[in-house]
Amino acid sequence: MSASEVCVKLNELVADHANDFKQFRGVRKNTRRIINMQIWNAERVFPQARNCQVWAWSSGLTNYICTWQESGELEAKASHDKGVETVKQCLTEQWKSDFVQTSSGGGHTFFPAGRLKDGCFHSLF
């Protein structure tokens, strides 16, 4: 999948946020043991993602989350950085990224607010 195709899917994902990502939801997972949320398997917007899910919290917050798995720390960091750059190419400058270091030494990058660019034509993701 090209970066421009990823941008199209990302645009659709952002637009579907208002609908709690219903367009991207797949099979609902059994979450009886987790009483404050529901989880669905989700369509992968990012082709190298290992697993994507939609999490709907009882507070009304809904998240679209993908995970990757790499063979080592350097590969994981390189994959993360490439993914962040691809997402940045799809978003306008109104979107700001926020990197959060985890206690285990990993990290997450969030893109809290903004608007998508009309087009995105860059390298493969």
Q: Which domain holds residue 29?
A: 3-110
Question: Does some domain include residue 96?
Answer: yes
Report how far residue 33's alpha carbon sits from residue 2's, in angstroms, rounded to the nearest whole number: 39
**pLDDT 10s per residue in the chain (125 long)?**
787 888 999 889 988 988 999 999 999 987 777 778 899 999 988 877 888 999 998 888 888 888 888 888 888 888 888 888 888 888 887 787 888 888 887 788 877 665 555 433 222 22
What total of structural domains would you count in the chain? 1
Residue 81 located in a structural domain: yes
Q: Does a structural domain hold residue 125?
A: no
Kindly state whether residue 8 falls inside one of the protein's structural domains. yes
pTM: 0.76
pLDDT of residue 94: 79
